[in-house]
Structure 1
Amino acid sequence: MGKILVTGVSGQLGTEIKKLSVSYKGDFLFADRAALDITDGDKVKQFLGRHPVEAVINSAAYTAVDKAESEPEMAKQVNCKAVEMLAGVCVSHNLKLVHLSTDYVFDGKNHRPYKENDPAAPVNVYGKTKWEGEEAIRSINPGNSVIIRTSWLYSSQGNNFVKTMLRLGAEKEEVRVIDDQVGTPTYAGDLAAAVLDILPGLNHKNVKTYHYTNEGVCTWFDFAKAIMEYEGLPCKVTPVPSSEYPTPAQRPSYSVLSKQTFKKDFKMTIPHWRDSLKKCLREIDSKL
């Protein structure tokens, strides 16, 4: 396909898309906030006027979950208002749009994996603003576009749970990790590959919502245990309740996402989180 604009290139997903882009057909244009501030509508229109594209992958977001509680307007500006503007530009230029969202649009009270049409009930500012961004896209309805919710994203780049556990595992004899929040870790490299694979074939009138995470279910404690085990770190991992680590933002206690619709529509096999964790750890080790 033609040129693809990827926003938020300095983030985990944007970085992985850039790494994979060399092996995909198509011409890519990568933009971080310095190159393109998606909260400035005039600059976005000017940018697309200078750089015509056929599709936009929006991986830019305000993702500081706790900080969003004290900066709700900033979170809303990036996660909702900017997304609303971007969707409008995609409609006026007839562009495909892939927008990334989050499991945090749900309240965590389910006891089965959340489906795309389950009622949203975010319990923190971050989730609320991401949900509002989703609703803006659906209202504006750029054709051939999708919203993809994901969860517990990590990669070999930037700051994330895996990198934090590796650092603490090397420094400490014991770490205490929450064991009453259940979800699915998602390797950004897998998500990036999925986004690039489905983009050329998007062909529908109304915006569709999908879920994509790795396969499997675990707690943060399980995730941390696996990291230490696979890296051979002797650090003891002790399970603790969320109440031991109060945070400004509430988290859903259960946010497993059903991927059945994604797998059915795109005929795609999704790796298990343990296999992808091993892959990511090998990549991290190769850089040492």
Structure 2
Amino acid sequence: MILVFGKTGQVATELQRQGDVTALGRDQADLSDPQSCAAIIADLKPSVVINAAAYTAVDKAEEEEAMAQRINAASPGAMAGACAHLDIPFLHVSTDYVFDGSGTRAWTESDPVSPQNAYGRTKLAGEQAIRAAGARHIILRTAWVFSAHGANFVKTMLRLSETRDALTVVDDQIGGPTPAADIAATLLTLADHMRDRAKGGTYHYAGEPHTSWAGFARAIFAQAGRDVAVAGIPSSDYPTPATRPLNSRLDCAKLATDFGIRPADWQSGLNTVIKELNP
């Protein structure tokens, strides 16, 4: 059995669509209670655990860092500890926000980490707790996740396009939009490898080619056939409580070398999502 923490999030939804998994929502697994999460693993004794749940309200985390720390760090650490005790693999979704967002080169797994906001700090603490627990694990860092479910940039842009014919969108943050469906497929492939005791560690997985949020918005409107003009603006013109990284590029070469998994083609994934949203 593949046990998934998370049920309604973007990646968790896709995991349920694509795999034979047991997914636990908030009513079944309280991620603010680390020991209860560990107890679930000890009781169910799955063959693999995937943590696709997190505190993802980036701006709100600036005011609720203690809660985000419990959900994003203490609970994954407890889950990994339970997996270590049972000698089963643990897969965990992390983020590009563990980096400081400087430069223009794509981040590799060995680059120094230096998160610039509370969300990033708690996700980094989760990575550290997982490694310290001693479980066979894969930490999969990703970025700019989108799908036909939940709240995400694609759905926001399409909603705004219903009443607007022009938008201003940040143009100096660069990254790789990543379809949740591709993240889920990658996690399921990695879970199969880990069952066979393949080596684990930390990996990057995101979409290519790299673009800005404004460039992503233009692609969304083009594929959806929406006539909306997009003007690029600097991040300084759109202040938020949490600092966003300017450079969210992730180098995915290690995942390709070790497992043959190539970066996601976000333009193809976007086409699939738009067709689902507008059948």
Under a length normalisation based on structure 1, what TM-score does the superposition of the two structures give? 0.93
- Letter paired with 2:7: V
- Say which of 193, 201, 213 aligns to 1:201: 193
Distance 1:194 1:120 in 2: 24
Aligned residues: 278
Q: Does 1:153 align with 2:153?
A: no
* Matching of residues 228-247 of structure 1 within 5 Å: 228-247=221-240
- Structure 1: runs of 5 or more not aligned: 22-26
Q: Does 1:184 align with 2:176?
A: yes
Contact 1:146 1:209 in 2 (8 A): yes
- Letter paired with 2:273: C
Please name the residue that 2:135 is paired with.
142
Distance 1:249 1:120 in 2: 17
Q: Does 1:65 align with 2:58?
A: yes
Residue 41 of structure 1 and its aligned partner are, at CA, apart by 3.7
Under a length normalisation based on structure 2, what TM-score does the superposition of the two structures give? 0.96
- Structure 2: runs of 5 or more not aligned: none
Residue 38 of structure 1 and its aligned partner are, at CA, apart by 3.0
**Residue 114 of structure 1 aligns to a residue in which SS?**
coil
Distance 1:154 1:199 in 2: 22
Please name the residue that 2:105 is paired with.
112
Residue 274 of structure 1 and its aligned partner are, at CA, apart by 1.3
Distance 1:106 1:270 in 2: 19
Please name the residue that 2:12 is paired with.
14
* Matching of residues 13-162 of structure 1 within 5 Å: 13-21=11-19, 27-143=20-136, 145-162=137-154
Distance 2:134 2:38 in 1: 18
Query: 1:92-112 deviations in whole A, cap 9, x for unaligned?
Result: 121210000000000111321
- Letter paired with 2:17: K
Structure 1 residue ranges, 4+ long, deviating more than 6 angstroms after superposition = none
* Identity across the alignment (%): 40
Change (3 A) 1:42 1:180: closer
Residue 285 of structure 1 and its aligned partner are, at CA, apart by 1.3
Contact 2:35 2:75 in 1 (8 A): no
Deviating more after overlay: 200-209 vs 102-111 = 200-209
